[in-house]
Structure 1
Amino acid sequence: MKKKLFRMLTGLILSCSLAGSSTVMAQEADSSDTVKSYLTGEDVPASIGRRRPVAVMLGNDRNGAPQSGLTNAGVIYEAPVEGQITRLMGIFEDYDNLEKIGSVRSCRDYYIFYANEFNAIYTHYGQAAYALPYLEQHAIDNLNGLTMGSTAFFRTTDRQAPHNAYTTPQLLQNGIDAMGYSQEYKSDYTGHYLFAEDGTETTLDNGTAANVVKLDNYGDNHPWFEYNADTKEYSRFQFGEAHIDELNGQQLTCDNIILQYSAYKPYDSNGYLNVDVMTPGQGKFITRGKAIDIRWEKDSPWGITHYYDANDQEIRLNPGRTWVAIIQNDKVDSISYQ
């Protein structure tokens, strides 16, 4: 009887030990699982790559730059707003370790459509009047500083308002929780871009040289990109100097540049723009020091923009950060390549 009891206890202890080991192994496996990022095409932890990103509106005039946190953005949009200036929108999936993100500025209606292409939670501080109907109709999950205040944002003392509004990873989480937004992608979302297959790269062998790309169509910051053949990245400049991330002093870089030529018209005499996000247009795809002509189209206003080469094949980006520049179609001639 004692031997039988001993064997039962031994078996129970062994079973518990194996179960505990299995749990530890499962936890280790979960923490080491990687997926292809929808934003960059790179291998990232599943906890990052399958969490809905946040799309943060950022000031980009002389008072709003340099921004904080942009080196962590997987995709950056730049588009004109009123007064010759541009606004940036950083799309972030990996932001947990950032001290702050900002400065956060107000919404323009066309940015809502760009953010929605990534199933992102759109983060902004206020809005132009023309964007208000979309926000009031909850056309996109969004965190608005005017209504959420200190729940999701804070102000610094080193800059004057409105250029001093920022958010943090914890404040973003507070805002998402307060609004009850899901942090999982929609079940039918399968990503935005196509990327080069593992072990290959997109070289645009038949493209034209694009070692320096100057976007003088943007009349305030006059940005440009310079290609580094050693790193295979483009370095970003504006206002006559390197465009840096204020948090770490690093110059912003990207692996891909997409120029999206778009129709537009003024909304009013104040210069607010109605940028056409739906009517198909032309553009450029730039990577690895070369540029090719592309066309873009989307099947619905809330759908994803697809970019095609001269052979009607959807372009494949190189893994890494992508910079999308929205170019007013009557200012295309202001862009130069060297």
Structure 2
Amino acid sequence: MLDSESKTVRRQADARRAVFAVGAGFWCGPAGWVLVLAMLAVGVAAISFTYWSGDDACGLVQPDLTATGLSAVGGSSEADGLLPSDLPRSAVDGLSLADRDEGRLFTVVLDNIAVARPAASIAAATLVWEAPVEGGITRLLALFRDSADLRRIGPVRSVRPYFVDWTEEYGAVLTHVGGSPQALSLLHGSGLFELDEMRQGGYFWRDRSRSAPHNVYTSSDLLHEALVDYGEMEDIADLDIDRPFRTSNPDLVDFGDVVEIGVDFGSPDFDVTWVFDDGSGTYLRHQGAGRFLDENQSVVAANNVIVQVTDISVIDSVGRRSIRTSGTGSALLFQDGRVREASWSKEGDGRTRFLDGESGDELPLNVGTTWIEVVGEVEAVSYQ
């Protein structure tokens, strides 16, 4: 109950006295009716504004920010989770660039044989290519951001020509330990900034507890230091507003029944299995005898698993491979427990695009980590 002596009550009483002091004649005359109608018009306008503006106008609904930091505005589709096409985001993982600096991107050639596992920081990579090299083994090309805080990355190994091609797609800094003659020739003519342990050893170290050559490591601090020392700090734009991305909320998505993907690289020690986890909506990687973890025992997971089928051939007596990275070919895209038949296309030094098999439109990737498995024939892949 209000105190009769309160300021609020006194103001209300004064207002009533002011109104009634005008006199009944005023309210019954033309001037009074004009004032009443004006007040009614203002009231109707206020009600209409509230109704047509929805709850946002009343401050009842907060902007719905997705996990990517992008609000559901600007043409995004709630039905299919497509993100707005008019906001800056990373072409690597679809994360928003509206409130952060992208920094430089690094690709690091990583060892993948049994004695080199577990790899350090592989779980933190946002994009990874897996491809065969000589000797029946595979090697990984992992893409990281300069802004990542990674104390140990490796083991770092030698580069191959196709790793140069994929690095060029994102203007990244290629980090490696030497390479094949073909790869080094291509790399030195590419214009890419590179860090080679053979020539710039100060940005790497060798872990004496592990056997060579599987013991070369670097870190995000050393990679950043190299950028400063060589004057390469200027950002390479990681923007591609034409690349479609979509969100995938495990609580809302109706997952499919493709729960396991097998990739046959010709040896049990290198064959890969991806197992779908409906709790996180991601595929968990297995290789060899069990789960594929990084050095910190972090699970390696992917929001998208892409199988890229292309021409692979042996080019010398050592067994080095030639892998075609341009032109077109077939592909499979695995997301949310589903598989889509697709094709891939790359022109010149542009980015590889994965396209719908029927419409030819670029397929949207789930925001997050993508692994690309590069094989020579579609029969190397199975799923169930």
Same fold (TM over 0.5): yes
Which residue of 1 is the match for residue 225 of structure 2? 174
Which residue of 1 is the match for residue 294 of structure 2? 245
Deviation at 1:204, TM superposition (A): 9.9
Which residue of 2 is the match for residue 16 of structure 1? none
Whole-angstrom distance in 2 between the partners of 1:118 and 1:269: 32
Whole-angstrom distance in 2 between the partners of 1:112 and 1:81: 14
Deviation at 1:133, TM superposition (A): 1.1
Whole-angstrom distance in 2 between the partners of 1:159 and 1:269: 29
Say if 2:243 is the partner of 1:190.
no
Letter in 2 for 1:266: V
Structure-to-structure mapping, 1:102-113, within 5 angstroms: 102-113=154-165
Percent same amino acid among aligned pairs?
A: 28
Deviation digits for residues 3-24 of structure 1, max 9, x if unmatched? xxxxxxxxxxxxxxxxxxxxxx
CA contact (8 A) 2:162 2:323 kept: yes
Say if 2:296 is the partner of 1:230.
no
CA contact (8 A) 1:85 1:221 kept: yes
Whole-angstrom distance in 1 between the partners of 2:224 and 2:311: 36
Letter in 2 for 1:80: P
CA contact (8 A) 1:36 1:44 kept: yes
Which residue of 2 is the match for residue 291 of structure 1? 339
Tell me the number of residue pairs that the alignment of Structure 1 and Structure 2 aligns. Answer: 297
**TM-score, normalised to structure 1's length?**
0.81
Deviation at 1:173, TM superposition (A): 1.6
CA contact (8 A) 1:40 1:319 kept: yes
CA contact (8 A) 1:60 1:87 kept: yes
Gaps in structure 2 of 5+ consecutive residues: 1-68, 71-87
Q: Alpha carbons of 1:201 and 1:57: their partners in 2 closer, same or farther (altered >3 Å)?
A: farther
Q: Which has the higher contact order (CA 8 A, sep 6+)?
A: 1
Say if 2:91 is the partner of 1:69.
no
Residue 101 of structure 1 aligns to a residue whose secondary structure is: coil
Structure-to-structure mapping, 1:1-338, within 5 angstroms: 36-43=89-96, 46-48=99-101, 50-93=102-145, 96-150=148-202, 152-186=203-237, 189-190=239-240, 193-196=243-246, 209-219=257-267, 220-246=269-295, 248-300=296-348, 302-310=349-357, 311-329=359-377, 332-338=378-384
Structure with bigger gyration radius: 2
Deviation digits for residues 21-79 of structure 1, max 9, x if unmatched? xxxxxxxxxxxx9863332113468445x212111110001122110011211111111
Which residue of 1 is the match for residue 76 of structure 2? none
Whole-angstrom distance in 1 between the partners of 2:252 and 2:306: 14
Whole-angstrom distance in 2 between the partners of 1:276 and 1:103: 26
Letter in 2 for 1:238: Q
Deviation at 1:128, TM superposition (A): 0.8
CA contact (8 A) 1:209 1:337 kept: no
Whole-angstrom distance in 1 between the partners of 2:172 and 2:186: 15
Q: Alpha carbons of 1:36 and 1:215: their partners in 2 closer, same or farther (altered >3 Å)?
A: same
Which residue of 1 is the match for residue 49 of structure 2? none
Whole-angstrom distance in 2 between the partners of 1:121 and 1:288: 32
Q: Alpha carbons of 1:190 and 1:44: their partners in 2 closer, same or farther (altered >3 Å)?
A: closer
Letter in 2 for 1:76: V
Deviation digits for residues 80-102 of structure 1, max 9, x if unmatched? 11111111111112653221111
Whole-angstrom distance in 2 between the partners of 1:174 and 1:93: 14
Which residue of 1 is the match for residue 52 of structure 2? none
Residue 115 of structure 2 aligns to a residue whose secondary structure is: coil
Question: What do you get for the CA RMSD once the two structures are aligned?
Answer: 2.6
Whole-angstrom distance in 1 between the partners of 2:251 and 2:131: 28
Per residue, is there more strand in 1 or in 2? 1
Residue 130 of structure 1 aligns to a residue whose secondary structure is: helix
CA contact (8 A) 1:58 1:67 kept: yes
Which residue of 2 is the match for residue 26 of structure 1? none
**TM-score, normalised to structure 2's length?**
0.72
Letter in 1 for 2:245: F
Residue 221 of structure 2 aligns to a residue whose secondary structure is: helix
Which residue of 1 is the match for residue 6 of structure 2? none
Q: Alpha carbons of 1:297 and 1:138: their partners in 2 closer, same or farther (altered >3 Å)?
A: closer
CA contact (8 A) 2:250 2:279 kept: no
Deviation at 1:240, TM superposition (A): 1.7
Whole-angstrom distance in 2 between the partners of 1:141 and 1:45: 26
